[in-house]
């Protein structure tokens, strides 16, 4: 299934539930919330937060996968509210990025700092 089809499925799903009526501002705030849950996973995984030391959970990879699904769904819902085709948008921007960010220059740079 391509991104166009996934976005179409998400549009229908949201329309069937009336979620397409939510203003983009609320969808965006919900997207921030889900992104922060990915951030929380990273904090646990990197050891900044630790279960039993003032925190009551640990990094949960299965939940992380669900969060990415929720993020994608909310991103599509937001794009749909502006009638933006994410596949076309990505492909267009990717073409610009390929020209703008030379592979050799960036590879040399990241090899030095990472």
* pLDDT surpassing 80 at residue 44: yes
Range of the domain at 71: 3-83
Same domain for 14 and 56: yes
| Nearest one of 72, 64, 62 to 13, comparing CA atoms | 72
Reported as a pLDDT band with limits 50, 70 and 90, residue 92 is very high
Q: Are residues 97 and 69 in the same domain?
A: no
Residues 74 and 107 grouped into a single domain: no
Taking residues 78-97, what's their average pLDDT?
Answer: 98
Q: Name the nearest CA neighbour of 8 among 16, 59, 54.
A: 16
């Amino acid at each position: 299934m391509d991104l166009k089809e996934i976005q179409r499925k998400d549009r229908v799903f949201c329309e069937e539930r009336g979620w397409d009526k939510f203003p983009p501002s609320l969808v965006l705030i919900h997207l921030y919330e889900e992104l922060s849950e990915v951030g929380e996973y990273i904090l646990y995984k990197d050891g900044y937060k630790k279960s039993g030391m003032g925190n009551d959970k640990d990094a949960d990879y299965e939940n992380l996968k669900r969060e990415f699904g929720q993020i994608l769904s909310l991103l599509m819902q937001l794009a749909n509210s502006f009638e933006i085709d994410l596949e076309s948008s990505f492909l267009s921007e990717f073409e610009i990025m390929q020209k703008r960010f030379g592979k050799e220059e960036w590879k040399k740079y990241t090899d030095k700092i990472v």
